[in-house]
Structure formats: C-alpha cells, structure tokens
Amino acid sequence: MTTEIPPCPLCKMENTYQDGDNYICADCAHEWPIIAIAEAEETEEVIKDANGTVLRDGDTVILIKDLKVKGSSITLKQGTKVKSIRLTSGDHAVDCRIDGGSFMLKQSFLKKA
C-alpha cells in the first residue's frame, strides 16, 4: 500500500483523501479503490531507451543505428527523428510511423530526444 495519496484520476486535482479502502476526491467526488492503484503500480511495465531513460506514449525518439527492415530493401537511417511514438507490450515495444510507413521498433535502438 502506498503512503502518498495520489491525485484524482478523473480531474487530476490533488485534493484527495483516504476513506477506509477507498480514495475520494473532494473536488469532483470521484471514489476509487486503493487496491486498484497498488495493482496498477505492480503490473506497469517500464520501457526504457538505450540510455536508460523512461519512454512514454507521445515521446520523440532518435534512431541510434541504421536498421534494415526485414522483408524489404528499406533501411531506416541513424539519426532519424521519430515523433509521437506509441508503447506496446512485447519484444518490439515501440510502434511508430516513419516516412508514411508503420514500424515496430526495439527500444534498445532508440534514444529519447
């Protein structure tokens, strides 16, 4: 169980308090269970780039190595900036669009811009 009371997930205000097994927001009256927060923290997968920086949805990253696209003659060049990434689960954790094509990339070949 966490000791710090989180902000409200609906209105994002920090005026929340604990009442038994629930958190309650004094601003919008939203009520959510404490257990759900603890389970979410335990199951949340942290995805890091090649330098160990945590990546989030919508981040901009840069390729640190030339990557050949399997089954194609396309090569993604080192230094290419990729905007608005989307994180997924699995071996190739970054979903993105580069030059109009959709690609799944390993986070170990990226650094946060």
26: DSSP letter:
T
Q: How many domains does the chain have?
A: 2
CA distance 102 to 57: 16
pLDDT (tens digit per residue) in 29-87: 888 888 765 555 555 678 899 998 989 999 999 999 999 999 999 999 999 999 999 99
Range of the domain at 4: 1-44
List the structure tokens of 10.
Answer: 């609906």
CATH code, domain with 4: 2.20.25.10
Q: Is 78 part of any domain?
A: yes
CATH code, domain with 86: 2.30.30.40
pLDDT band at 1 (very low <50, low <70, confident <90, very high): very low
CB 60 within 8 A of CB 113: yes
Is residue 108 domain-shared with residue 69, that is, in the same domain?
A: yes
CB 74 within 8 A of CB 101: yes
Q: Is 72 part of any domain?
A: yes
